[in-house]
A = this chain, B = another copy of it.
Amino acid sequence: MGLAAQMLPGVGAFAQSGERKVGYCVIGLGRIADHFMRGVKEGSTSTITGLVSGHRDKAERIAAQYGVPKSSIYSYEDMDKMRENKAIDAVYVALPNSMHAEYTIRSAKAGKHVLCEKPMCTSVSDAEAMIAACKAANVKLMIAYRLHYEPTTLRAIKLIQDGAVGQVQSIVSANGFNESAGEWRLNKALSGGGPLMDVGIYCLNAMRYLTREEPVKFAGFVSTIDKDGRFDTVEENTSWTMQFPSGIQASCTTTYGGSMPGFYRVYGSKGWLQVDEFGYQGLRLTARYSQGRGSPATTLDEPNLEKDPKQFVREADHFTECILKDRAPRTAGEEGLLDMQYMREIYRVAGVTAL
């Protein structure tokens, strides 16, 4: 950590070594919060210093695990009191989508930096309000696009930028899974929408970081096949085509009704490049390209052997560094807002009420 960071006026927890760590209060203690907290523990820059939960017992158990004092456990009702808690620099919002806006804004008003899970929220106007609230409170807002900090993804982006596959023409991508009845994702009041919001957003966001362009044309459909009660409020499938200003095209699909391991394949004039898996581990990059007809082909097969929660270590490290060095996160609120706008557009062309 540099001198500038050490001289920052912010308060926070200190590691036993004496080096300052950024303290995170985790809001919502579901599955992804568990990955994040394990990531923070595995890393060396950050620490868990607070919890917000509707289940006091569960929160106390987790607090004991991470060394969080009982006095730093809040309910959803009294979490605004964290303003007074100097050990909390930032919050990690790991709630159902429709609660992201409220808890981001309340956290900002409590003077805490905000790392918010994706999708950023459930409407474009909420996204704008979140950005405005964080700006007004002079706190940082980062959306938890963990793959932006993940080495296989960065390797794919660099290979494309370096021209390995030549001029990119189009990309196909899929990401989905078979969701179980009763999960909050199937309740539109909590999720804001179907698989596009939760897992299709990986395809959408990948198309943007792979092309480094913003999509300008959208076409697609939503459908529900299974009439088993799971899809009373959200759609089961969304497939869409996007076009970028250069002419690059993207074909994407997402589902809550099938087995759909995440992947993208990028087709360029000199070859193709594929990354399998958008999950917490097990990413694998394969590629085959040649610098011209008759030139020998390069074949890549690069499994990423890192284990969960390493991606969360990197994500926390980045936001912590931004806080300590007063830098803008690479995936700030504006990145999340763009995806919200594009998802609204995909839903609009598919005939679904706009976000």
- The interface of chain A, by Cβ under 8 A from chain B, is 165-170, 172, 174, 176, 178, 217, 219-221, 223-226, 236-241, 243, 246-253, 255, 257-261, 265, 267-272, 288-289, 349
Chain B residues near A220 (CB-CB < 8 A): 219, 241
Q: Are A223 and B248 in contact (CB under 8 A)?
A: yes
Copies in the complex: 2
Partner of A272, one of B219, B260, B271: B260
Q: Are B247 and A258 interface neighbours, CB within 8 A?
A: no
How far does the Cβ of A7 sit from chain B's closest Cβ, in whole Å? 49
B257 close to A237 (CB less than 8 A): no
Once the chains bind, are A169 and B225 in contact (CB under 8 Å)?
Answer: yes
Contact of A243 (CB < 8 Å), options: B221, B226, B248, B260 = B221
Query: Could you tell me if A255 and B241 are in contact, using CB atoms closer than 8 angstroms?
Result: no
If A219-B220, A258-B269 are given as contacts, then 6 extra A-B residue pairs at C-beta distance below 8 Å, sorted by A number, are A165-B258, A167-B225, A168-B258, A169-B225, A170-B258, A239-B241
Q: How far does the alpha carbon of A228 sit from the alpha carbon of B169 in the complex, in Å?
A: 14
Question: Given the known A-B contacts A247-B225, A249-B221, are A289 and B170 also in contact in the complex, defined by CB atoms under 8 Å?
Answer: no
Task: Tell me which of B169, B221, B240 contacts A217 (CB under 8 A).
Answer: B221
Is A259 touching B268 in the complex (CB atoms < 8 A)?
A: yes
- Known interface pairs A219-B220, A219-B221, A241-B239; A169-B249 also in contact (CB < 8 Å): no
Looking at the assembled complex, report how far the CB atom of A323 sits from the nearest CB atom of chain B, in whole angstroms: 40
Q: Identify A219's interface contact among B172, B219, B252, CB under 8 A.
A: B219
Cross-chain pairs A/B with CB under 8 angstroms, 22 sampled = A169-B255, A170-B237, A176-B267, A178-B269, A219-B221, A221-B241, A221-B249, A223-B243, A225-B247, A225-B248, A226-B269, A236-B247, A241-B241, A241-B251, A249-B253, A251-B251, A251-B252, A258-B267, A258-B269, A259-B270, A259-B272, A260-B267
A238 to chain B: which residues have CB within 8 Å? 249
Q: Which residue of B lies closest to A223 (CB)?
A: B247
Are A269 and B265 within 8 A (Cβ)? no
Chain B positions within 8 Å of A170 at CB level: 174, 237, 239, 253, 255, 258, 260
Interface-central residue, A168, A243, A246, by most chain B CB under 10 Å: A243
Given known contacts A219-B221, A241-B221, A253 and B255 CB-to-CB distance under 8 angstroms: no
Given contacts A220-B241, A239-B251, whether A267 and B272 have CB atoms under 8 Å apart is no
A3 to B257, CA, bound (A): 51
| Docked-complex contact A269 and B249, CB < 8 angstroms | no
Q: Which residues of B contact A239 (CB under 8 A)?
A: 170, 241, 243, 249-251
Cβ of A61 to closest chain B Cβ, rounded Å? 27
Name the B residues within 8 Å of A248 (CB-CB).
223, 225
In the bound complex, residues from chain B placing their C-beta under 8 Å from that of A241 are 219-221, 239-241, 251
Q: B residues within 8 A CB of A178?
A: 269
Residue of B nearest to A256 (CB): B169
Whole-angstrom distance between the alpha carbons of A219 and B345 in the complex? 14
